[in-house]
Amino acid sequence: MAETGAEQDGKGQALVARLSRNRWLLGAGVLAVLAVYFFAGVSFYVLVLALVALAAAAMLSKDAGRQPADAGAAIEASGLQRLSGEYLAAAVADPLLIFDHSATIVHANAAAFAAFGGLAPGMSLSLKFRAPEMQALLDGILSGQVAADAVDYTEKLPVERTYRVSASTVGHATGLYVLVFKDQSETRRIDRMRADFIANASHELRTPLASIAGFIETLRGPARNDPAARDQFLQIMQNQTGRMARLIDDLLSLSRLEMKPYLRPGTEVDLRQTIDSVIDSLGPLASENGVVIEREFASGPLVVPGDRDELFQVFENLLENACKYGQSGGRVTVSIAGSEDGQQPGFDVTIRDYGPGIAEEHIPRITERFYRVDVESSRTQKGTGLGLSIVKHILTRHNARLSIKSEVGKGAAFTVHLPAR
């Protein structure tokens, strides 16, 4: 029976191993031959033959060691030859297009179809991507001026997406070229959010600082000897410093939440006890605003996994907003009910006010940092514009979510959906 390739390779490797193990024996044989030559008078030709045999054995060992490496390189080369360009394109997660010297699409991977749609072999890239930067990129590559280039390209429809597009030749003298689209949309969005956050935070801090500086200048000048004006200005300055302190506290809270990794809560929280504590702590604020807080709690145990301090902060923010901005309704209802959200048992905590409500266009953005429905009302109520952002981050850490329902003139309802496990 003929031996397979694997069996032949195994025998070759075994031979190399045996030769390697016998090198010391071969060396010992040479010493023995030399000893016999000197002490027993053996012919010089016998000595030469022994040395030649040893050299041949060493060469055989070296060649046998090289054979597995050469065989591995040959296997790797044959494997790469079997890979087609289509398979390689499919393995790329980013949209990829292969085209020829006339800018006609030869192949598009699945990611390209998902991103751009309507692609087919034979379609002109110049007609598909009409943006000037894409036309310049194609012209530069096809004219041979550059072997590789990259530009930023924005796709407007169906949603705005920003890509870093790289173009290069494929192989040598193949007449084929490749475009790879690296999605930069999320990176750009984060950069824009960071810039907006810095601008908004600077503005929020600059306003009270300018006010305090102006009152200090007035107190040192015209109002130096006016007790009534001095008391009034000092009260305003105290309010402004309190506003800055609240803003800094909220910024620090938001920063701590973002720095924490997502960890599953390791303790259990009694919702009834936690929300009762929140209502008791905000009782003076509710009385000051003429608001009555009503409870509607389900019966039985109301326990969820979570961090009590963080959930306390969530409900405190929501109830405080309801008492401040919904005070015209005269009452706020806090309810807890069981829910089956996506076959997952849990609890819905709803804080509803009966105030002016929120216009529909504001609801998708209301949890953004520094976003305010009514700037003047927010500042009057000593809001920082960060409360709902903090709520959103805490709920994300608890695998929970916030839903908002509102109608102008009929109040607003903020519902926290918490999983029971």
Question: What does the CA dihedral 283, 288, 290, 291 come to, rounded to 10 degrees?
Answer: -30
- 3-class secondary-structure state, position 104: strand
- How far is residue 116's CA from residue 130's CA, in Å, rounded to a whole number? 13
- How far is residue 232's CA from residue 229's CA, in Å, rounded to a whole number? 5
292-297/148-155 β-pairing: unpaired
Task: Find out whether 325 and 283 touch, Cβ atoms under 8 Å.
Answer: no
List the one residue out of 74, 128, 65, 136 whose CA is nearest residue 99: 128
Fold of the domain built from segment(s) 187-259: Helix Hairpins (1.10.287)
Predicted local confidence at residue 37, as pLDDT: 46
- How far is residue 297's CA from residue 300's CA, in Å, rounded to a whole number? 9
Reading the chain (421 residues) residue by residue, the pLDDT tens digits are 444 444 445 544 544 444 444 444 445 444 444 444 444 444 544 544 555 555 555 555 555 545 555 655 555 555 555 556 677 888 888 999 999 999 999 999 999 988 888 888 899 998 889 899 999 999 999 988 888 899 999 987 777 889 999 999 987 778 899 999 999 988 887 787 777 777 777 777 887 888 888 888 888 888 888 888 888 888 888 888 887 887 888 778 777 777 665 556 668 889 999 999 999 988 888 888 898 999 988 888 888 888 888 899 899 989 988 998 888 888 999 999 887 665 678 889 999 999 888 888 888 888 887 777 766 665 565 667 788 888 888 888 888 889 999 888 888 999 999 887 7
Place domain 85-183 in its CATH homologous superfamily.
PAS domain (3.30.450.20)
Domain ranges of the chain: 5-82, 85-183, 187-259, 268-419
Predicted local confidence at residue 166, as pLDDT: 94
Predicted local confidence at residue 81, as pLDDT: 54
Q: Does domain 268-419 have CATH number 3.30.565.10?
A: yes
Predicted local confidence at residue 150, as pLDDT: 93
For residue 151, which phi and psi values (nearest 5 degrees)?
-140, 165
pTM (2 d.p.): 0.52
